[in-house]
């Protein structure tokens, strides 16, 4: 049988079955190893109210707590929300993190500018 990806779009390897999780966006059941997972860090308060709260606060240099949420998306929602991208056949073979590739390219450009 032909396959589109080396890992068949999952991170299961030797396990026969994994528990499903619910997509944070649409609620679809997705296997936990297939879901696209992102850790979202946000301020608890919107930016418009941060200054008002800091001015009203009795404690100087008080840092507002952040909200830490693990988001789990099904593939269709992750593609629709531009969290992951559809890649070409050659692009699918690249297993390196795209951010690492981007950082390496920027470091190369910075070195060229110095010379």
Tokens coding 21 = 């999780």
Q: Output the pLDDT for position 20.
A: 96
CA 53 to chain centre: 30
Q: Output the pLDDT for position 106.
A: 86
CA 102 to chain centre: 16
At residue 29's C-alpha, the angle toward residues 23 and 34, to 5°, is 75
CA-based nearest residue to 77, from 44, 37, 106, 50:
37
Q: Which residues of the chain have pLDDT under 50?
A: none
| pTM given for the model | 0.73
């Amino acid at each position: 049988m032909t396959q589109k990806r080396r890992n068949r779009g999952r991170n299961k390897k030797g396990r026969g079955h994994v528990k499903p999780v619910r997509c944070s966006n649409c609620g679809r059941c997705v296997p936990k190893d297939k879901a696209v997972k992102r850790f979202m860090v946000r301020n608890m308060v919107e930016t418009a109210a941060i200054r008002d709260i800091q001015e009203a606060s009795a404690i100087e240099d008080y840092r507002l707590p952040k909200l830490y949420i693990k988001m789990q998306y099904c593939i269709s929602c992750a593609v629709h929300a531009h969290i992951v991208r559809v890649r070409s056949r050659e692009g699918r073979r690249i297993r390196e993190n795209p951010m690492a590739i981007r950082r390496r390219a920027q470091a190369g450009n910075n070195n060229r500018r110095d010379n």
